[in-house]
């Protein structure tokens, strides 16, 4: 049995963590009261921690134990300012690390955050760095990219935090893009919930698979291998059949844009892949699976495949794909650069105004002489 | 021995003769003395008159009268006697003992009586002047007639009784005292006329009213009215009795009135679930021809049924409903309903005790009636959730423990997730 740690940082990270906890109670449709009568169905020893500077974000959570919600006090939150966030983290580092320490020893850790907020995006790189220094288990980040229209500050934050994450020593960054997933729901809140549920479902499936007896290959070691490939960036695809579906179709769907969390052309951009197939034995035609996987590996490189037999279940397929290039990310960065310049220019103007002040200040203390 | 047997009847006969002879020979002297010529001696209604005394011939002639009627006459020598019958059985013997001359010649006689108790003589005396001066007491006879105006009536109806008395005797009746015995099966409704005390005299041929009154019949049947009796005396103070006729009267049942309260007590459901409601309807109907008074129905509810409420005329005494009606007129009915709650499983009947009274129009006192009623069986079955209450105690304990555990669990979880 694996010991798994899942951390959610900032509002976005907290919410996704809560969704993970909710789904662990069984099914996405579970009501608020599920925690009173049900038990979380983690296969592994899963510990969760939510960090936030905003106490209201922590209060909003419903399915995460109170003791797993950690408030990092700071007078006014960090207000999307990553520099303040970093300073707060440094100040409270020991307290934060003690929370993790207390949860015990782990085989693997995931840290979930938005790339663009203040708290989560500034805490996560520092936290990962700290964890990597202290522990030798792999730490993966699940990072949510902002809607592009959310403003220059968020774009800039996303750009910098992603770079810092790659430098932090994280064993991999799994991308989920709000912009890509936004067509999911009506209101922003519904869209958030829908996206969170998608991400949570994939994480849980992955956790479950990692701790399951699998035919063929794939275990934690294989996951590590997959994640270490490419540019250290990855995403996840998923398909769950609601009716009898040929396994080929299921695999194709898990690799198609509808199943992915981040916009990418799998056959073009992926460098390594892991495909986990779950379902009743009758759907699991080895020939069909093999032919479909071969198609992928022909384009991608190495593909790990795992099969989990579950009686009576329709086919479900999870794909983990590491990317050697990410066109979409480049796009984001180019927008972000513009944003940074824009911000810089703005700041310059402010500084020029300050310059003007200096000009005026030259005559400070002086009296006109006549 | 044979001889002796023959002698006994003879002996008996001898003694009887001896006794009779003794009685017959028991003559009592009523008078021994002189009776002057033209005078007489009266023994009750008999008068012995010495009409002529013939001193020279030593004879005297006599007449015997019974009242105004001469029944005997004759001429007696000295020591000669004659007899005449006195009343029914008695016999009077008059013997001439001697004759005497004087201004008015007289005869000495001895009058004896047999078969008659001398003490019963109310006149036993010389009558100066003889027959023409004698007075005889007659026999008054009061004829009493009891008349009724109707001979057939119904219960509660009245008859008028008229009682008249007439002296059909030959003597005045004195101190006439009438007695009218109390009449069974009737009550005296009204007295119109009544003689008070004794009537001092009713002359021969005189007729007087005695009573006029009304009797009310109280009982059916054919009865003889009791005769009125009278006791009176004649001028000689002799006592007489007479009694009236006893008229026959038939009393018919028909006309007594009565109240007849019939009751029906129903429930709307034969079977009800526990905690369910039953509506009971009561109809009280007077099918008689008299008004029922103080009609009261006491309803006894069994343990498992509880009175919940009903018509405002229903009062409850100690949880049991009661209906009281002052007067329920003939041919009237009243309906009531009330609601019962079934508290416990079981089979029940509701009992009612009805009582009322009425006046039958005849008797002064009201007649009381009572009756008992019962509803048909009501089955109270288990309620929907009753099985919950039928479990043994440990089930509740376990249930409570489980609930407690759930409570604790929920509280714990709540605390665990409450931030
Ligand atoms: N998918 C998803 N994205 C979210 C959610 N909440 C916020 N975001 C995104 O996260 C970004 C904002 O970051 P947050 O996590 O809210 O910020 P934070 O880490 O709490 O930092 P501060 O609030 O600035 O202190 C934006 O791009 C939002 O679109 C959520 O529930 N689901
Ligand atoms: Mg926030």
How far apart are the CA of B416 and the nearest CA of chain A, in angstroms?
5
Q: Does B409 touch chain A (CB under 8 A)?
A: yes
Length of chain A: 370
- Can you say whether residue B311 is alpha, beta or left, with left for phi > 0 and alpha for psi between -120 and 50 degrees? beta
Name the strands in the sheet holding B248-252, side by side, starting at the edge strand that comes first in the sequence: B152-154, B248-252, B221-224
- Rounded alpha-carbon distances, angstroms, from residue A196 to A26, A234, A278, B93: 16, 17, 22, 167
Q: How far is the CA of A340 from the centre of ligand 1 (A)?
A: 20
- Rounded alpha-carbon distances, angstroms, from residue B43 to B36, B40, B215, B239: 17, 10, 48, 18
Residue B409 to residue A67, Cβ atoms within 8 A: no
Long-range CB contacts (< 8 A, 24+ apart) of A65-68?
Answer: A65/B416, A65/B417, A66/B415, A66/B416, A66/B417, A66/B418, A66/B419, A67/B416
**Which residues of chain A does B405 touch, with a Cβ-Cβ cutoff of 8 Å?**
none
**Which residues of chain B does A25 touch, with a Cβ-Cβ cutoff of 8 Å?**
none
Give me the residue label for tokens 């080895």: A286
How far apart are the CA of A24 and the nearest CA of chain B, in angstroms?
15
Closest CB to B416: pick one of A59, A61, A66.
A66
Which residues make beta-bridge pairs with B230?
Answer: B178, B242
Check pocket membership of A245 for ligand 1, CB cut-off 6 A. Answer: no
Name the strands in the sheet holding B261-267, side by side, starting at the edge strand that comes first in the sequence: B261-267, B277-286, B333-342, B305-310
**Which residues of chain A does B419 touch, with a Cβ-Cβ cutoff of 8 Å?**
58-59, 61, 66, 69
Do the bridges between strand B351-358 and strand B248-252 make them parallel or antiparallel, or are there none, so unpaired? unpaired
Main-chain dihedrals φ then ψ at residue A143, nearest 5 degrees:
-120, 130
Tell me, what's the pLDDT at B20?
47
| A35, closest residue in chain B (CA to CA) | B413
**Which residues of chain B does A67 touch, with a Cβ-Cβ cutoff of 8 Å?**
416
Length of chain B: 419
Check pocket membership of A11 for ligand 1, CB cut-off 6 A. Answer: yes
Q: How far is the CA of A117 from the centre of ligand 1 (A)?
A: 5
- Contact status, residue B116 vs residue B27, Cβ threshold 8 Å: no
Structural element, H or E, at residue B100: strand B90-100
Q: Does B418 touch chain A (CB under 8 A)?
A: yes
Domains annotated on chain A, with CATH: 3-211 (3.40.50.1440), 233-323 (3.30.1330.20)
- Contact status, residue B134 vs residue B35, Cβ threshold 8 Å: no
Sign of the alpha-carbon dihedral angle for A164, A165, A168, A169: negative
Q: Along the 419 residues of chain B, how does pLDDT read in single tens digits?
A: 444 555 655 555 555 544 544 444 478 999 999 999 999 999 988 999 999 999 999 999 999 999 889 999 999 999 999 999 998 899 999 999 999 998 999 999 999 999 999 988 888 999 999 999 988 888 899 999 999 999 999 888 899 999 999 999 888 999 999 999 999 889 999 999 999 889 999 999 999 999 999 999 888 899 999 999 999 998 877 889 999 999 999 998 766 788 999 999 988 888 888 888 999 999 999 999 999 999 999 999 998 889 998 898 899 888 889 999 999 999 999 999 999 998 888 899 899 999 999 998 777 789 999 999 888 888 888 877 666 666 777 878 888 899 999 999 899 888 888 88
CB burial of residue B9 (10 Å; 0-12, 13-18, 19+): exposed
Give me the residue label for tokens 């490419």: A230
Q: How far is the CA of A130 from the centre of ligand 1 (A)?
A: 23
Tell me, what's the pLDDT at B21?
45
Structural element, H or E, at residue A176: strand A172-177
Q: How far is the CA of A119 from the centre of ligand 2 (A)?
A: 7
Q: Along the 370 residues of chain A, how does pLDDT read in single tens digits?
A: 899 999 999 999 999 999 999 999 876 565 777 887 788 888 899 999 999 999 999 999 999 999 999 999 886 667 888 999 999 999 999 999 999 999 999 999 999 999 999 999 999 999 999 999 999 999 999 999 999 888 888 988 999 999 999 999 999 999 999 999 887 666 888 889 999 999 999 999 999 888 877 666 567 888 998 999 888 899 999 999 999 999 999 999 999 988 999 999 888 889 999 999 999 999 998 899 999 999 999 888 889 988 988 889 999 999 999 998 888 888 888 888 888 888 888 888 887 777 777 777 777 777 777 7
Do the bridges between strand B367-374 and strand B351-358 make them parallel or antiparallel, or are there none, so unpaired? antiparallel
CA torsion, ordered A202, A203, A206, A207, to nearest 10 deg = -150
To the nearest 10 degrees (0 to 180), the angle between helices A82-102 and A119-134 is: 40
DSSP state of A260: B
Closest CB to B419: pick one of A35, A36, A61.
A61
DSSP state of A301: S
CA angle at residue A183 from A181 to A186, to 5 degrees?
120
**Which residues of chain B does A64 touch, with a Cβ-Cβ cutoff of 8 Å?**
417
Token pair for A87: 């300073």
Do the bridges between strand B81-86 and strand B90-100 make them parallel or antiparallel, or are there none, so unpaired? antiparallel
**Which residues of chain B does A58 touch, with a Cβ-Cβ cutoff of 8 Å?**
419
Q: Does A66 touch chain B (CB under 8 A)?
A: yes
Token pair for A202: 């994939």
DSSP state of A63: S
Per DSSP, the residues of A200-219 read HHHHHHHHHHHTS--EES--
How far apart are the CA of A19 and the nearest CA of chain B, in angstroms?
14
Per DSSP, the residues of A70-108 read EE---BTB-TT-HHHHHHHHHHHHHHHHHHHHHT---SE
CB burial of residue A206 (10 Å; 0-12, 13-18, 19+): buried
Tell me, what's the pLDDT at A29?
60
Q: How far is the CA of A184 from the centre of ligand 1 (A)?
A: 17
Which residue in B414, B149, B36 sits closest to A65, CA to CA? B414
First to last CA, chain B: 150
Check pocket membership of A138 for ligand 1, CB cut-off 6 A. Answer: no
CA atoms within 13 A of residue A254's CA, in its CB half-sphere: 31
How far apart are the CA of A60 and the nearest CA of chain B, in angstroms?
9
Q: How far is the CA of A54 from the centre of ligand 2 (A)?
A: 6
Residue B418 to residue A63, Cβ atoms within 8 A: no
Q: Does B407 touch chain A (CB under 8 A)?
A: no
Atom 14, ligand 1: residue with shortest CA distance: A117
CA distance A23 to A29: 8
Q: Does B412 touch chain A (CB under 8 A)?
A: no
CA distance A128 to A171: 9
Residue B417 to residue A67, Cβ atoms within 8 A: no
Token pair for B184: 């069974």
Atom 16, ligand 1: residue with shortest CA distance: A11
How far apart are the CA of A37 and the nearest CA of chain B, in angstroms?
8
Q: How far is the CA of A317 from the centre of ligand 1 (A)?
A: 28
How far apart are the CA of A40 and the nearest CA of chain B, in angstroms?
12
Tell me, what's the pLDDT at A74?
82
Q: How far is the CA of A114 from the centre of ligand 1 (A)?
A: 5
Residue B419 to residue A35, Cβ atoms within 8 A: no
Tell me, what's the pLDDT at A299?
87
Residue A36 to residue B418, Cβ atoms within 8 A: no
CA distance B248 to B224: 4
Tell me, what's the pLDDT at B22?
44
- Contact status, residue B356 vs residue B285, Cβ threshold 8 Å: no
Q: Does B417 touch chain A (CB under 8 A)?
A: yes
Check pocket membership of A12 for ligand 1, CB cut-off 6 A. Answer: yes
Which residue in B140, B138, B134, B139 sits closest to B64, CA to CA? B134
Residue B417 to residue A65, Cβ atoms within 8 A: yes
Token pair for B201: 């005299």
Residue B416 to residue A59, Cβ atoms within 8 A: no
Where b means 16+ CB within 10 Å and e means fewer, B389-404 reads: eeeeeeeeeeeeeeee
Residue A66 to residue B414, Cβ atoms within 8 A: no
CA distance B348 to B265: 14
Site to probe by mutation for ligand 1, drawn from A64, A86, A114 as the one with most ligand atoms within 8 Å of Cβ, is A114
CA distance B156 to A31: 91
Residues with Cβ within 8 Å of residue B194, at least 6 apart in sequence: B210, B211, B212, B213
Range list of β-strands (E), B247-319: 248-252, 261-267, 271-273, 277-286, 292-300, 305-310, 314-317
Residue B410 to residue A36, Cβ atoms within 8 A: yes
Check pocket membership of A60 for ligand 1, CB cut-off 6 A. Answer: no
ipTM exceeding 0.85? no
Among B residues 220-279, those touching chain A with beta carbons less than 8 Å apart: none
Token pair for A342: 């824009």
């Amino acid at each position: 049995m694996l010991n798994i740690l899942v951390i959610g940082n900032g509002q976005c990270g907290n919410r996704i963590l809560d969704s993970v906890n909710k789904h662990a109670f069984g099914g996405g449709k579970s009501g608020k009261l599920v925690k009173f009568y049900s038990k979380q169905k983690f296969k592994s020893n899963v510990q969760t921690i939510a960090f936030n500077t905003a106490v209201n974000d922590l209060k909003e959570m419903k399915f995460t134990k109170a003791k797993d919600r950690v408030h990092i006090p700071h007078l006014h939150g960090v207000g999307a300012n990553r520099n303040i966030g970093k300073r707060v983290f440094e100040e409270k580092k020991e307290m934060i690390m003690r929370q993790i320490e207390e949860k015990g020893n782990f085989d693997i850790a995931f840290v979930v955050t938005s790339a663009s907020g203040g708290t989560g995006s500034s805490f996560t790189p520092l936290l990962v760095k700290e964890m990597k220094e202290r522990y030798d288990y792999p730490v993966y980040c699940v990072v949510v990219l902002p809607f592009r229209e959310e403003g220059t500050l968020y774009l800039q934050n996303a750009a910098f935090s992603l770079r810092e994450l790659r430098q932090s020593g994280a064993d991999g960054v799994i991308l989920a893009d709000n912009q890509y997933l936004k067509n999911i729901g009506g209101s922003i809140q519904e869209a958030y919930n829908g996206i969170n549920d998608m991400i949570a479902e994939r994480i849980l499936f992955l956790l479950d698979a990692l701790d399951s007896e699998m035919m063929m290959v794939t275990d934690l070691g294989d996951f590590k291998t997959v994640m270490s490939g490419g540019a250290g960036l990855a995403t996840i695809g998923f398909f769950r059949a609601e009716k009898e579906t040929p396994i080929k179709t299921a695999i194709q769907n898990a690799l198609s844009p509808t199943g992915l969390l981040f916009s990418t052309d799998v056959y073009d951009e992926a460098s390594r892949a892991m495909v986990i197939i779950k379902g009743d034995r009758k759907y699991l035609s080895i020939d069909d699976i093999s032919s479909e996987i071969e198609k992928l590996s022909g384009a991608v490189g190495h593909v790990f495949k795992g099969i989990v037999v579950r009686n009576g279940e329709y086919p479900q397929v999870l794909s983990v794909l590491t990317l050697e290039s990410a066109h979409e990310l480049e796009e984001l960065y180019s927008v972000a650069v513009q944003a940074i310049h824009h911000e810089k220019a703005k700041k310059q103007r402010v500084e020029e105004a300050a310059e003007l002040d200096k000009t005026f200040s030259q005559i400070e203390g002086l009296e006109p002489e006549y | 021995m044979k001889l002796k047997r023959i002698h006994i009847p003879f002996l008996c006969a001898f003694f009887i003769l001896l006794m009779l002879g003794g009685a017959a020979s028991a003559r009592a002297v009523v008078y021994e003395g002189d009776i002057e010529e033209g005078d007489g001696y009266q023994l009750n209604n008999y008068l012995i008159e010495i009409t002529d005394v013939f001193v020279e011939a030593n004879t005297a002639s006599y007449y015997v009268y019974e009242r105004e009627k001469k029944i005997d006459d004759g001429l007696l020598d000295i020591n000669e006697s004659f007899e005449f019958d006195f009343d029914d059985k008695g016999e009077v013997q008059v013997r001439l003992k001697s004759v005497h001359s004087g201004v008015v010649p007289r005869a000495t006689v001895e009058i004896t009586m047999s078969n008659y108790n001398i003490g019963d003589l109310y006149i036993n005396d010389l009558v100066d002047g003889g027959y023409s001066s004698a007075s005889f007491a007659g026999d008054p006879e009061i004829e009493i007639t009891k008349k009724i105006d109707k001979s057939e009536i119904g219960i509660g109806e009245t008859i008028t009784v008229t009682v008249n008395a007439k002296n059909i005797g030959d003597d005045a009746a004195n101190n006439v005292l009438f007695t009218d015995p109390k009449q069974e099966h009737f009550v005296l409704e009204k007295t119109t006329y009544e003689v008070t005390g004794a009537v001092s005299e009713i002359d021969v041929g005189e007729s007087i009213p005695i009573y006029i009154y009304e009797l009310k019949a109280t009982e059916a049947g054919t009865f003889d009215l009791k005769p009125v009796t009278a006791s009176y005396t004649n001028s000689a103070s002799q006592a007489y009795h007479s009694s009236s006729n006893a008229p026959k009267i038939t009393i018919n049942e028909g006309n007594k009135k009565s109240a007849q309260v019939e009751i029906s007590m129903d429930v709307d459901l034969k079977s009800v679930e526990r905690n369910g409601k039953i509506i009971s309807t009561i109809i009280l109907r007077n099918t008689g021809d008299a008004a029922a008074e103080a009609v009261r129905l006491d309803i006894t509810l069994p343990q498992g049924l509880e009175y919940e409420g009903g018509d405002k005329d229903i009062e409850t005494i100690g949880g049991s409903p009661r209906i009281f009606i002052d007067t329920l007129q003939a041919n009237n009915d009243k309906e009531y309903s009330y609601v019962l709650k079934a508290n416990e499983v079981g089979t029940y009947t509701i009992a009612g005790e009805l009582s009322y009274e009425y006046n039958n129009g005849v008797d002064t006192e009201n007649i009381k009636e009572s009756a008992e009623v019962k509803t048909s069986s009501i089955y109270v079955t288990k309620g929907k959730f009753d099985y919950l209450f039928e479990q043994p105690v440990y089930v509740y304990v376990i249930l409570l423990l489980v609930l407690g555990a759930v409570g604790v669990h929920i509280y714990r979880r709540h605390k665990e997730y409450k931030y």
